């Protein structure tokens, strides 16, 4: 299912997905600066992956994850930690950079142009966000080949 949406339409679409799949584990994927945290804060009962993971990190793990520029090695290390320490619970959708074990995957896509704007506003690296986006898209496409989950695609437009 592909949908192009405004922020409110995205919230409405997510709420409808979450209601339809309230007995399933739902993971909402999106790159840095695509709006995950903004959306997550407006939808009660959802979880932010960072808020679930960061309290569990050692200082060394945190320092490594925050290294710049972002690399696939950092991504792999982070993914391993997240998969070991964070889980998705039915009825508590999680907003994440990393695909976790779940039955339903929602991908929040964002154009490179809009991503660049969001990164500039936040003072974040566009290249890092783009690298994360590429890694997420690779995982999304790999999972879709397995066809053992329910997939939703939402295109963030603002």
Q: Which domain holds residue 102?
A: 2-156
- The confidence score (pLDDT) of residue 5 equals 57
Residue for token pair 């739902």: 26
Mean pLDDT for 115-129 is 91
Mean pLDDT for 113-124 is 91
For residues 74 and 131, the answer to whether their CB atoms sit within 8 Å is: no
Q: CA angle at residue 70 from 67 to 71, to 5 degrees?
A: 115
Q: Band of the pLDDT at 156, cuts 50, 70, 90?
A: confident
Q: Band of the pLDDT at 20, cuts 50, 70, 90?
A: very high
Exposure on the CB side of residue 88, measured as CA atoms within 13 A: 25
**Single pTM value for the model:** 0.87
CATH number for the domain including 90? 3.40.50
Q: Band of the pLDDT at 2, cuts 50, 70, 90?
A: low
Quick: pLDDT tens for 25-75.
Answer: 999 999 989 889 889 999 999 999 999 999 999 999 999 998 888 788 998
CA-atom Rg of the chain in angstroms? 15
- The confidence score (pLDDT) of residue 120 equals 93
Instruction: Report how far residue 39's alpha carbon sits from residue 61's, in angstroms, rounded to the nearest whole number.
Output: 27
Number of domains composing the chain: 1
User: How much of the chain is in helix, strand and coil states, percent to nearest 5?
Assistant: 50, 20, 30
Closest of 42, 137, 65, 67 to residue 99, by C-alpha = 137
Give residues with Cβ within 8 angstroms of 92, minimum separation 6. Answer: 45, 46, 47
Q: What is the mean pLDDT of the chain?
A: 90
Where is average pLDDT lowest: 2-6, 84-88, 92-96, 106-110?
Answer: 2-6
């Amino acid at each position: 299912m592909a949908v192009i949406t405004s922020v409110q339409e995205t919230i409405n679409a997510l709420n409808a997905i979450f209601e339809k799949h309230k007995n399933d584990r739902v993971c909402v994927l999106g790159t840095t600066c695509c709006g995950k945290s903004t959306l997550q804060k407006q939808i009660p009962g959802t979880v932010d992956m960072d808020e679930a993971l960061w309290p569990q990190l050692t200082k060394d793990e945190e320092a490594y994850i925050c290294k710049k520029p972002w690399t696939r090695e950092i991504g792999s290390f982070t993914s391993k930690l997240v998969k070991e320490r964070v889980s998705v619970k039915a009825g508590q959708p999680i907003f994440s950079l990393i695909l976790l074990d779940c039955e339903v995957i929602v991908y929040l896509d964002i154009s490179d142009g809009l991503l660049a704007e969001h990164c500039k506003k936040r003072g974040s690296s566009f290249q890092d966000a783009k690298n994360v986006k590429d890694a997420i898209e690779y995982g999304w496409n790999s999972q879709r080949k397995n066809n053992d989950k329910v997939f939703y695609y939402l295109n963030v437009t603002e």
